[in-house]
Amino acid sequence: MGREAGEAGRRAGLKDVARLAGVSVKTVSNVVNGYVHVAPATRARVQRAVAELNYRPNPSARSLCGGRSGIIALAVPDLRIPYFAELAGLVVAAAEERSLTVLIDQTGGERERELRVASGLRTHLIDGLIFSPLALGPEDLAARSDDTPMVLLGERVRPGSADHVAVDNVAAAREATAHRIGLGRHRVAAIGARHDAAGETARLRLLGHRQALTEAGLPVHADLVAPVDEYLRADGARAMARLLDSPEPPDAVFCGNDLLALGALRTLYERGVEVPGRVAVAGFDDIDDGRYGTPSLTTVAPDKRRIAGEAVGLLATRLDGAATGPAREIQVGHRLVPRESTLGRAAR
Amino acid sequence: MGREAGEAGRRAGLKDVARLAGVSVKTVSNVVNGYVHVAPATRARVQRAVAELNYRPNPSARSLCGGRSGIIALAVPDLRIPYFAELAGLVVAAAEERSLTVLIDQTGGERERELRVASGLRTHLIDGLIFSPLALGPEDLAARSDDTPMVLLGERVRPGSADHVAVDNVAAAREATAHRIGLGRHRVAAIGARHDAAGETARLRLLGHRQALTEAGLPVHADLVAPVDEYLRADGARAMARLLDSPEPPDAVFCGNDLLALGALRTLYERGVEVPGRVAVAGFDDIDDGRYGTPSLTTVAPDKRRIAGEAVGLLATRLDGAATGPAREIQVGHRLVPRESTLGRAAR
DNA sequence: CTGAAAGCGCTTACAG
DNA sequence: CTGAAAGCGCTTACAG
C-alpha cells in the first residue's frame, strides 16, 4: 500500500518529511530549495523521505513567507486572436522551462481593464507580469504605481520606465511594402489605420509602409490608406471592399496584421479578383492560418519564440534579485516571408 | 498624498484595516468575504477603511488557511491549436465572471505530461482543474489519485468517475457526412483516423461518418479513410494528397477537425481541384479560420461558449461545497454550419 | 552544516 | 453581531 498522495487523506508537509528524515524542517527546506550547504548524506536522506511521502511544497505558504509564488501573469487582449494565442503558448512553454506557471488575463484591449492589470490586479499572487497593452499609452504605463516586475510586449514605452521586448515595426513594414514595389506595384494601399489610442503599433507599421513608398519616389495617396476599428478579419474584409470600390483601386495592399490580410483575401476571393495577379497582399505576424491560406499569405514574421523567451527571461532576472535596475529593451528580429499572395503560385 | 498602495512601501493587511476601522480582523474578514451578519454601520466603516488603504486580500494567505486560492487550471494540448486557444479564451472569460483565475498548462498531448496533470501537478495551488486529455484513456483518468475537483472536456470517461462536458461527436459527424450525401456525393472519404491512444474523439467522429454512409446505403471503402499522425493542417494536406492519388478519388471529404480540413483545402487548391465542384469538404470545430477561408469551410460547430461555461460552472459547484457527489455529465449542443466548401459560392 | 523560533496574512472554530 | 487565539506550511534571520 501507499503510492501517490498520503493515504492519511492529508498531504505530507515539510514537518512530516523532517520527522521521517530525522532532521529539522529548516534542513528539509534547504534540500527542497536546492541550497548548497547540506551534507550529502543528509540530502540523500531527506530526498528519500520526500519521495516516500510524495511531498510537494505548498506554493501558497512559500509565497506568504515573502518568497515567490512561482506564478507570472500574461495579460493579452484576447486568446481568440491567433497572434496572442500563439504567443501565449510560447510564453507558457518558456515559463515552464524556468519552473514558472502562467496565468492568463484577457483585457479585451479595453482601457479600464488594462489599467487594472497595470495597477496590480494580481498583486500578492504573481511574481511578475508580461503585458501586451493595446489601449494604454506610454504615460499610463510610466505612471504605474504597482511595483510588481513587468515586461512590456510591443512598442517602446517612455524610455527607461519598464523592461520591454519589441520588434522594429517600422522597418518590418517598410520591407513588406518595398517587396511589392520591387515586384512592380505602384499603387500600394494600406489597411489598418486606427484612430483610437490602440494605434501605436498600427501607427508604426503604417509609417514604415509610407517610408517605403517615399523611398521609392511614389506618392502617398490618402485614399489608399484604409482605417479600421479593430484588427480582425471582418475589418480587413470591409476595408478591402472599400478600396476596391474606390475610383482607382490599388494593385497591392499592406495590412497591419495577418488577420486583416486574411479578411482582405476573402473579399478579393468573393469578388473574383486575382491574387496576386491584380492585387498583391501582405500581412504582418506570420500566424499559422496564413501559411496554409489559399493563396498562402506573404507576411512579416516576428520571432515569436524569441519574444516569448526574452520576455520570460527578463522577468526571471527581476525575480532573481535584480528587482530594481535600469529598464532594459530588447529588439527582436523579424524577416519577410514572401508567399503566394505576392509571388503567385511559383512561390511554392 | 496617499492614493494607491500604502505609501509605507508595505501593502495594507487585514490588521491595518481593522485598526483604522476600529474593529477586529475577524470583522474585516467577514466584510471582505461578504458574510451576512455584520451590522450595516460596521460594514460601512470597514469598507471605508478598505478603500482608504487600498486593501487587497492576499490570496496566498487565504489559500493557506485551507480556504481557496481562487485559481483553476486549464490543461490543454497546445494553445497554438486554434480550437484550444478559442476554448481557453472562453474559459478565462467564464472563470472571470465567477472571480476565478485561470492558469494554463500545455500537455502537448503527451501521455507523461497528461499523467502529471491528472495526478496533481498543481496540488495546493489550484482549487480545480479543467482538463482536455488527448493521450489518456478512461482507465487512466478513473485511476486518478489526486482529489482536486476536475472537469473533463471531451469524451465520456468511465461513467461516474468524473464530471465532464462533451458534444455528441458521433451524431455531429454523422450530420456532416449526411449533408454531403444529401448533396449527391457518393464517394465520401474521411481524413483523421488515428492509431494512437489519442484516438477517442477521432474514433467517434469517424464512427459517425461511417454511420451516415451506412444509413444512406453506401459502402464504406477502407481506402477512403485516411489516417493521420496529428490533427494539424499539414496532416490534412498530406492525407488529401494521398486520397487524390488513389485510383478512385473521393467526391467529398469529412475531416476530423477544421485544421485537417484547411490542410485538405490547401492541397486541393495547389492541385487546382475545384471545391466544392469536384470535392466537397467539411470539418469539425468551427474555428475562426474556417469562416473566412477561400472557400469558407463547412463544419460542425460545437457550442464552445457553452462548453467553457458549463465546465467552469461544474467546477464552481464543486468548490462551493459539493466537493463530493456523483459525477455529472453535460452534453453540449452542436450544429452543422454549411458553407461554401460544400455549397459553393451560392452559400453567401 | 543544522536547529528552534518567529512570523508571513489570512480563516476558522470557540467564546462572549 | 464581534473579539482573541490558534494555526495553515513555509522561509528567514539568528544561534549554535
- The residue whose CA lies nearest the C1' of nucleotide D11 is A65
Two domains, one topology: B10-51 and B169-302+336-343: no
Distance from CA of A324 to the nearest CA of B (A): 14
pLDDT surpasses 80 at B66: no
Q: List strand C contacts in B 37-76 (CB < 7 A).
A: 55-58, 61-62, 64-67
Residue pairs between chains A and B whose CB atoms are closer than 8 Å: 161
Look up residue A137 and give its three cell numbers: 499609452
Q: Which of these, A105, A114, A172, A110, lies nearest to A143 by C-alpha position?
A: A114
Find cell 457518393 and name the residue. Answer: B186
Contact, A102 vs A92, CB < 8 A?
yes
What per-residue confidence (pLDDT) applies to B9?
52
Q: How far from chain centre, in Å, is Cα B184? A: 34
Nearest to B92 among A56, A63, A106 (CB): A106
Whether any strand C atom is under 7 angstroms from the Cβ of A101: the reply reads no
The terminus-to-terminus CA distance of chain B in angstroms comes to 61
Residue A101 to residue B123, Cβ atoms within 8 A = no
Compute φ and ψ for A95, nearest 5 degrees: -65, -40
Looking across all nucleic acid strands, the nucleotide with the smallest C1' to CA distance from residue B35 is D1
What per-residue confidence (pLDDT) applies to B156?
64
Tell me which of B250 and B64 has the higher pLDDT. B250
* Distance measured from the CA of protein residue A65 to the C1' of nucleotide D11, in angstroms: 6
- The residue whose CA lies nearest the C1' of nucleotide C4 is A24
pLDDT surpasses 80 at B234: yes
Query: Which residue type occupies B208?
Result: G
pLDDT surpasses 50 at A3: no
Residues 6+ apart with CB under 8 A from A222: none
Tens digit of each residue's pLDDT (9 = 90 or more) over B182-207: 999 999 999 999 987 667 889 999 99
Tens digit of each residue's pLDDT (9 = 90 or more) over A297-346: 999 999 999 999 999 999 999 887 666 788 899 999 999 999 999 999 86
- Residues of chain A neighbouring B60 (CB-CB closer than 8 A): 59-61, 63-64, 69, 124-125
Within 7 Å of a protein beta carbon, the nucleotides of strand D are 1-5, 7-13
Rounded percentage of chain A residues whose pLDDT exceeds 90 = 64
What per-residue confidence (pLDDT) applies to A323?
64
Pairing of strands A252-255, A280-282: parallel
Q: Looking at the whole model, is its pTM more than 0.75?
A: yes
Q: How far from chain centre, in Å, is Cα A237? A: 25
Q: Can you tell me the distance from the alpha carbon of A292 to that of B259, in angstroms, rounded to the nearest whole number?
A: 10
* Distance measured from the CA of protein residue A175 to the C1' of nucleotide D15, in angstroms: 66
Q: Can you tell me the distance from the alpha carbon of B11 to that of B13, in angstroms, rounded to the nearest whole number?
A: 6
Residue A101 to residue B125, Cβ atoms within 8 A = yes
Q: Can you tell me the distance from the alpha carbon of B149 to that of B153, in angstroms, rounded to the nearest whole number?
A: 13
CA quadruple A80, A83, A88, A89: dihedral sign: positive
Element holding B302 (H helix, E strand): strand B299-302
DSSP state, A145?
-
What per-residue confidence (pLDDT) applies to B41?
84
Look up residue B282 and give its three cell numbers: 467539411
Whether any strand C atom is under 7 angstroms from the Cβ of A66: the reply reads yes
Q: Which class is domain B71-167+304-333?
A: alpha beta
Rounded percentage of chain B residues whose pLDDT exceeds 90 = 64
Contact, A111 vs B111, CB < 8 A?
no
Q: Which class is domain A169-302+336-343?
A: alpha beta
Residue B11 to residue A82, Cβ atoms within 8 A = no
Look up residue B266 and give its three cell numbers: 490547401
Distance from CA of A267 to the nearest CA of B (A): 9
Q: Can you tell me the distance from the alpha carbon of B298 to that of B179, in angstroms, rounded to the nearest whole number?
A: 10
Contact, B228 vs B194, CB < 8 A?
yes
Q: Can you tell me the distance from the alpha carbon of B216 to that of B104, in angstroms, rounded to the nearest whole number?
A: 43
- Domain map of chain A by residue range? 10-51, 71-167+304-333, 169-302+336-343
Structure confidence at residue B5 as a pLDDT band (50, 70, 90): very low
Q: Can you tell me the distance from the alpha carbon of B76 to that of B60, in angstroms, rounded to the nearest whole number?
A: 25
- Which of 3.40.120.10, 3.50.50.60, 1.10.260.40, 1.20.910.10 is the CATH number of A10-51? 1.10.260.40
What per-residue confidence (pLDDT) applies to B250?
97
Structure confidence at residue A7 as a pLDDT band (50, 70, 90): very low
Residues 6+ apart with CB under 8 A from A61: B60, B64
Structure confidence at residue A248 as a pLDDT band (50, 70, 90): very high
Within 7 Å of a protein beta carbon, the nucleotides of strand C are 1-5, 7-13
Instruction: For residue A102, give the 3-state DSSP assignment.
Output: strand
Pairing of strands B299-302, B334-337: antiparallel
Q: Can you tell me the distance from the alpha carbon of B51 to that of A337, in angstroms, rounded to the nearest whole number?
A: 52
Q: Can you tell me the distance from the alpha carbon of B73 to that of B75, in angstroms, rounded to the nearest whole number?
A: 6
Tens digit of each residue's pLDDT (9 = 90 or more) over A156-213: 666 777 899 999 999 999 999 999 999 999 999 999 999 876 678 899 999 999 999 9
Q: How far from chain centre, in Å, is Cα B172? A: 17
Other CB atoms within 10 Å distance of the CB of residue A241? 17
Tell me which of A275 and B325 has the higher pLDDT. A275
Distance from CA of A103 to the nearest CA of B (A): 4
Other CB atoms within 10 Å distance of the CB of residue A103? 23
Q: Can you tell me the distance from the alpha carbon of A273 to that of A269, in angstroms, rounded to the nearest whole number?
A: 6
Count of CA atoms in the C-beta half-sphere (13 A) of B233: 22
Contact, B188 vs B216, CB < 8 A?
no
* Distance measured from the CA of protein residue B227 to the C1' of nucleotide D12, in angstroms: 58
Element holding A47 (H helix, E strand): helix A40-53
Structure confidence at residue B142 as a pLDDT band (50, 70, 90): confident
**pLDDT, averaged across chain A:** 90
Task: Count helices and strands (H / E) in chain B.
Answer: 14, 12
Q: Can you tell me the distance from the alpha carbon of B265 to that of B255, in angstroms, rounded to the nearest whole number?
A: 11
Q: Can you tell me the distance from the alpha carbon of B83 to that of A79, in angstroms, rounded to the nearest whole number?
A: 11
Sheet holding B101-106, edge to edge: A329-332, A163-167, A150-153, A128-131, A71-76, A101-106, B101-106, B71-76, B128-131, B150-153, B163-167, B329-332
Other CB atoms within 10 Å distance of the CB of residue B184? 9
Distance from CA of A318 to the nearest CA of B (A): 18
Average pLDDT score over residue span B163-172: 94
